[in-house]
Structure 1
Amino acid sequence: MVSSSKPADEAEMKKALATGAVKEAPLSAIPPITCYCFASILMTIINKFVVSGANFSMNFLLLCIQSIVCVSCVAIVKKAKIISFRAFDIQDAKAWFPISFMLVLVIYTGSKSLQFLTIPVYTIFKNLTIILIAYGEVIWFGGKVTSLTFISFIFMVISSVIAAWSDVSGALGDSMPTGSTSISTTSLQAVKGVVSNLNIGYFWMLFNCLASATYVLSMRKRIKVTGFSDWDSMFYSNLLSIPVLAVFSIIVEDWGSENLARNFPPETRHVLLSAIAFSGAAAVGISYTTAWCVRTTSSTTYSMVGALNKLPVAASGMLFFGDAVTFGSVSAIGVGFFAGILYAVAKNNQKIAQARAQGDTIIPLVNRQ
């Protein structure tokens, strides 16, 4: 009886894995997490380089070109029979269009945030998205926020406050004249301009956090409904975003010759266009690894992995874009990283507790009557 039950137990385990009753081994999450980290860091650096020009204002055109290059790359790779995904279907397109529209909001607000904020501030404030996603999972997917997880959220908020304080004080200090005790009209105008730019940057950052949380949660729910694979999700997301981005670019942005010359100066035009094309190819990686990471782990873990990128991403900002290295910025990064480690420990403890509870309720087949 025992020997005949062993194959039945194995069949039951395979069935549980197929239906999602038992999660894959934690090691299976390492490849998607690693790939997502590399792709997100690369995309942040490239987008910051493109939008950091003093006169750049055509964000919709930038994102439209990226999506076109991304879809073209995927189509070429599919034609070479390296990858495979479902053919375009109008019903699938209708079902996926809201997700694609949310993606447009995420990448546009992200590019606008990077235009006005430094990379360290941008990455630290992305932590707030984690909190929104975590409580969204509680509402939509029956998730749970433990005490340790809540404590990690508190540290995330503290790191964001420190980053904002350091950013504002540093920007105001740089705008004030040195060697003079008098305050001139010019200095007041400079301070006003700095405050205005910061307000705009933090507005786009708030919008980006809300849009990112909605996008990740909605995509996870829609993937379950449509049965999309990772490549399906990536293909439809970018393909359906092209007309939206093109329409917004034509309506909102200035396509006059003077504005085009300001956005793409002749001396740097080839470099900018090459960077945009490369970022479009890199978007294949970020789109695919996003869907891969969300499906393999969870939407909260996916967002947390992105938050843990703050150290290398912040270092890249200080190295390539001259972002200030101050006590406040370093403290904010350190607190944010500690919050990420604390959150990872909390999620790991939560998974162990769930596995034990699930194991206690399973009756082996050999013991069943």
Structure 2
Amino acid sequence: MANRPIDEAEMRKAVATGAVREAPTSAVPPIVCYCLASILMTLINKFVVSGAHFSMNFLLLCIQSIVCIACVSLVKSAGVISFRAFNMQDAKAWFPISFMLVTVIYTASKSLMYLDINIFALFKNLTIILIAYGEVIWFGGRVTGLTFISFIFMVVSSVIAAWADVTGALGDAMPTDGTTSLQAMKGVVYNLNIGYFWMMLNCLTSAAYVLSMRKRIKTTGFSDWDSMFYNNLLSIPVLAVFSIVVEDWGSENLARNFPPETRHLLLSAIAFSGAAAVGISYTTAWCIRTTSSTTYSMVGALNKLPVAASGMVFFGDPVSFGSVSSIGVGFFAGLVYAVAKNNQKKAESRAQGETIIPLVNRN
């Protein structure tokens, strides 16, 4: 009897759930692409939200999602890529993931308004610790001793970065005549508290998003383009509603957010960031699928050095002993973690090899 052709969607689901094994693929291309996309996206978002009076983050994210969907739909119509058509059942299953992505991007944009890029990049390392122990609970992962040591260095790098940031901000608030302005000090402390509050929320929501996305991909069988399409499409109505309800759409506030002298540049940057969101959405799903959610986050930790350097080059982030030391410690933590994961993988491979019964010994 002739074999019946296997539906492509069913095959993708079988691969995602482990019923069918994919051919081994190199992890280098998705890792490199993710690093480049994340650096580009961070720089663009920092440029857009760094305006003195910018407050329409939901509108920014909504425009980015609309441009993203327009781009992938255009590429799909040209036959370059392919992803499943919109389905209400899939939309209901994926909506919680899309909503979590909205919270991740929004909290990131808010924290970038108050923190330098190098501070933001280093504190994102704390997300790795949350994801690692989440994998222990959800996916049977394991944290070795060397991995735990790398986590300690991540915490140390974040503490050094925070110390350098706080002391630098307080030093800048000191008048040159030696007297202290209480109002200036209060303003600095307030901005720091707000910035680190949004940073904490971003770490928590990022960990929840990555872990939940990996689990949902296994159950839905979504491909990388499917994940990207549903993430951005389902986020549009959520962002639009929040923008209309929460943000001020008055003419004065719009003029403050988009000044006439820089309006075209800002709108062009937002549109470009929407196109760049295609890359970050796709490479995130690609990297998680081909490696693991912890490895994906660790890759993000290793690219903190170029991200932080770009902030110093393009946005004038302060270059001090504390900031440079924190970046160095954070990068070293990434290297320690990479060694730990490599050793763990070799040990697991040896353990699996020892459990295989040779054919001559089988009954």
Pair 1:190 & 2:190 matched: no
* Offset of residue 368 of structure 1: 4.8
Give the aligned partner of residue 51 of structure 2.
53
Give the aligned partner of residue 129 of structure 2.
131
Give the aligned partner of residue 289 of structure 1.
283
Cα distance change on mapping 1:248 and 1:16 into 2, 3 Å: closer
Counterpart of 1:182, as a letter, is T
Give the aligned partner of residue 174 of structure 2.
176
- Match of 2:27, SS state, is helix
Can you list the C-alpha shifts for 1:80-127, whole angstroms capped at 9, x where unaligned?
A: 111001100000000000000000000000000111000000000000
Name which of 82, 92, 95 aligns with 2:93.
95
Separation in 2 of the partners of 1:209 and 1:365? Answer: 49
Give the aligned partner of residue 115 of structure 2.
117
Pair 1:207 & 2:201 matched: yes
Q: Contact between 2:121 and 2:307, CA under 8 Å: does it hold in 1?
A: yes
Can you list the C-alpha shifts for 1:300-340, whole angstroms capped at 9, x where unaligned?
A: 00001011111100110000000000000000000000000
Give the aligned partner of residue 33 of structure 2.
35
Give the aligned partner of residue 158 of structure 1.
156
TM-score normalised according to structure 1 size? 0.92
- Match of 1:330, SS state, is helix
Task: Pick which of 356-365 and 154-163 moved more.
Answer: 356-365
Pair 1:218 & 2:212 matched: yes
May I ask how many residue pairs the two structures share in their alignment?
350
Separation in 2 of the partners of 1:18 and 1:299? Answer: 15
Q: Contact between 2:68 and 2:278, CA under 8 Å: does it hold in 1?
A: yes
Separation in 2 of the partners of 1:20 and 1:323? Answer: 49
- Match of 1:262, SS state, is helix
Separation in 2 of the partners of 1:17 and 1:106? Answer: 24
Separation in 2 of the partners of 1:71 and 1:362? Answer: 48
Q: Percent identity?
A: 81
Pair 1:345 & 2:343 matched: no
* Offset of residue 182 of structure 1: 3.1
Counterpart of 1:340, as a letter, is G
Q: Contact between 2:15 and 2:221, CA under 8 Å: does it hold in 1?
A: no
CA RMSD, 1 decimal: 1.8
Pair 1:106 & 2:90 matched: no
Can you list the C-alpha shifts for 1:228-286, whole angstroms capped at 9, x where unaligned?
A: 00000000000000000000000000000000000000000000000000000000000
Can you list the C-alpha shifts for 1:199-228, whole angstroms capped at 9, x where unaligned?
A: 000000000000000000000000000000
* Offset of residue 69 of structure 1: 0.3
Q: Contact between 1:85 and 1:229, CA under 8 Å: does it hold in 2?
A: yes
TM-score normalised according to structure 2 size? 0.93
- Match of 2:26, SS state, is helix
Q: Contact between 2:17 and 2:218, CA under 8 Å: does it hold in 1?
A: no
Which consecutive unaligned segments of at least 5 residues does structure 2 have?
1-13
Counterpart of 1:214, as a letter, is A
* Offset of residue 17 of structure 1: 12
Separation in 2 of the partners of 1:226 and 1:16? Answer: 11
Pair 1:258 & 2:252 matched: yes
Which consecutive unaligned segments of at least 5 residues does structure 1 have?
1-14
Separation in 2 of the partners of 1:325 and 1:348? Answer: 33
Pair 1:315 & 2:309 matched: yes
Pair 1:81 & 2:75 matched: no
Pair 1:271 & 2:265 matched: yes
Separation in 2 of the partners of 1:320 and 1:63? Answer: 22
Superposition pairs of residues 298-313 of structure 1, within 5 angstroms: 298-313=292-307
Separation in 1 of the partners of 2:113 and 2:22? Answer: 40
Q: Contact between 2:157 and 2:330, CA under 8 Å: does it hold in 1?
A: yes
Q: Contact between 2:62 and 2:236, CA under 8 Å: does it hold in 1?
A: yes
Q: Contact between 2:16 and 2:221, CA under 8 Å: does it hold in 1?
A: no
Name which of 221, 228, 239 aligns with 1:227.
221
Q: Contact between 1:17 and 1:24, CA under 8 Å: does it hold in 2?
A: no
